[in-house]
């Protein structure tokens, strides 16, 4: 009887913590909007190529380097990254590094102290706090933003660690497939503003917002879209409802919120062709079991296609609407990204850009297969139990 009482109390506390934590966060997080811009955008889908250019740009920084990552590991890639930041700071460049507290738990205190002694300003975002401890533990800064000298910026799916350069300890997760963007122009100032907005929270030393970026540039039309506390959910519902012909979704985790998924089913019902590309191998427990009920409902429509990526691990985050608008950024197609996490995406309004990256998309499709029956319909008792468990916690996977 006493155990039942405490279980009930604990469950009630968690529910109230999550509910009121979410409501309070929504009031404190107004939607930030950045204008449509035109500029140069480079596309990366290979970790070694990405880090080669990324380190080169930091090495050439003259004034400032702002870096924000969800995950920073404790390995040789991280050591190279930290060494470069310390080198630039000792040379007089202003360097700020912000890491998510949960995602970067493996970073050693000694390494943080070494960075600080070299002049790097270091912060950890989102340490759990009262009064909504459990909600704050769940809310993570999932962004990966770097801005160099207010002119070059990065945004996408790569974090810092060996697996992102195809050296994962788990051979099933290598090679690592991800999508990342490099901006040159006005959007760098928008991403700098977003970095500073995150940095200026939680009592860190205050950074001034940058001057407004110049307009009337040439190049690919796009807009930076930061999100938190349900903003992305609303944006996706609007974009899906506007699709007329096709939607392509590439994501490592297909666990959408109910409103987003309902809108996706409405799109299928009105004849929109929907393709979902997910990884065959999982890097977190229960994500496949959580996805299978959604995928099964979609497959009731003849215009739905599910593909399972087999050549390593697919971690990219991309949505293409009607081959006209492309969404690439940090957000997965899951409830955590759509409702809880701090995310940042880029909406690209350019069919020409989509054609430019199409060979890479087709390569990923060629490296995929239709999912097997056990993946979608668990038949064993253990598989059924895992599916039920995944359903209960799907909002936090």
State the catalytic residue, choosing from 142, 180, 222, 235: 142
**Does residue 315 carry a catalytic annotation?**
yes
**Does residue 144 carry a catalytic annotation?**
yes
State the catalytic residue, choosing from 88, 317, 386, 394: 317
- Contact predicate 58/149, CB 8 Å: no
Q: What is the DSSP letter of 130?
A: S
Distance separating alpha carbons of residues 357 and 44, to the nearest angstrom: 9
User: At residue 90, what are phi and psi to the nearest 5 degrees?
Assistant: -65, -25
- The strand pairing partners of 152, in sequence order, are 148, 184
Q: How distant is the alpha carbon of residue 67 from its chain centre?
A: 15
Distance separating alpha carbons of residues 169 and 191, to the nearest angstrom: 33
Distance separating alpha carbons of residues 227 and 141, to the nearest angstrom: 10
State the catalytic residue, choosing from 17, 57, 100, 149: 149
- Give the CA radius of gyration of the chain: 21
Pairing relationship of beta strands 325-329 and 343-348 according to DSSP bridges: antiparallel
- CB proximity list for 252: less than 8 A, separation 6 or greater: 278, 279, 283, 287, 313, 314, 315, 316, 317, 332
Altogether, the residues listed in the chain come to a count of: 397
**Does residue 38 carry a catalytic annotation?**
no
What tokens were used for 382? Answer: 């253990």
Distance separating alpha carbons of residues 325 and 342, to the nearest angstrom: 22
What residue has token string 């913590």? 17
Q: What is the DSSP letter of 214?
A: P
State the catalytic residue, choosing from 38, 96, 235, 315: 315
**Does residue 102 carry a catalytic annotation?**
no
**Does residue 317 carry a catalytic annotation?**
yes
| Straight-line distance from the first to the last Cα atom of the chain, in angstroms, rounded to the nearest whole number | 31
**Does residue 63 carry a catalytic annotation?**
no
State the catalytic residue, choosing from 74, 75, 114, 322: 322
Catalytic residues: 142, 144, 149, 315, 317, 322
């Amino acid at each position: 009887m006493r155990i039942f009482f405490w279980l009930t109390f604990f469950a009630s506390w968690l529910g109230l913590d999550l509910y009121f934590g979410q409501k309070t966060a929504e009031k404190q997080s107004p939607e930030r909007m950045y204008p449509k811009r035109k500029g140069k955008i480079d596309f990366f889908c290979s970790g070694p190529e990405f880090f080669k250019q990324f380190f080169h740009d930091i090495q050439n920084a003259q004034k400032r380097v702002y870096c924000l990552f969800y995950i920073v590991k404790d390995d040789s890639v991280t050591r190279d990254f930290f060494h470069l930041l310390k080198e630039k700071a000792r040379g007089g460049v202003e360097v700020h590094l912000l890491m998510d507290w949960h995602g970067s738990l493996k970073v050693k205190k000694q390494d943080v102290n070494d960075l600080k002694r070299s002049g790097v300003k270091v912060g950890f975002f989102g340490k759990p706090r009262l009064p909504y401890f459990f909600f704050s533990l769940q809310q993570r800064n999932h962004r990966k933003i770097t801005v160099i000298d207010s002119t070059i910026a990065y945004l996408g799916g790569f974090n810092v660690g060996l697996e992102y350069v195809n050296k994962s300890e788990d051979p099933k997760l290598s090679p690592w497939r991800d999508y990342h963007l490099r901006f040159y122009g006005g959007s760098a100032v928008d991403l700098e503003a977003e970095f500073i907005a995150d940095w200026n929270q939680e009592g860190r030393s205050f950074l001034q917002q940058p001057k407004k970026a110049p307009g009337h540039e040439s190049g690919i039309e796009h807009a930076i879209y930061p999100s938190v506390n349900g903003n992305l959910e609303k944006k996706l519902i609007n974009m899906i409802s506007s699709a007329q012909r096709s939607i392509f979704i590439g994501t490592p985790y297909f666990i959408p919120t109910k409103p987003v998924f309902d809108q996706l089913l409405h799109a299928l019902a009105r004849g929109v062709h929907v393709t979902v590309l997910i990884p065959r191998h999982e890097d977190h427990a229960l994500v496949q079991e959580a996805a299978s009920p959604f995928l099964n409902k979609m497959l009731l429509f003849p215009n739905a296609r599910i593909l399972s990526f087999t050549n390593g691990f697919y971690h990219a985050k991309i949505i293409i609407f009607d081959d006209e608008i492309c969404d690439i950024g940090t957000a997965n197609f899951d409830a955590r990204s759509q409702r809880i996490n701090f995310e940042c995406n880029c909406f690209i309004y350019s069919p020409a850009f989509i054609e430019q990256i199409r060979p890479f998309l087709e390569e990923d499709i060629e490296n995929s297969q239709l999912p097997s029956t056990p993946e979608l319909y668990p038949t064993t008792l253990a598989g059924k139990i895992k599916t039920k468990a995944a359903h209960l916690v799907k909002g936090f996977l």
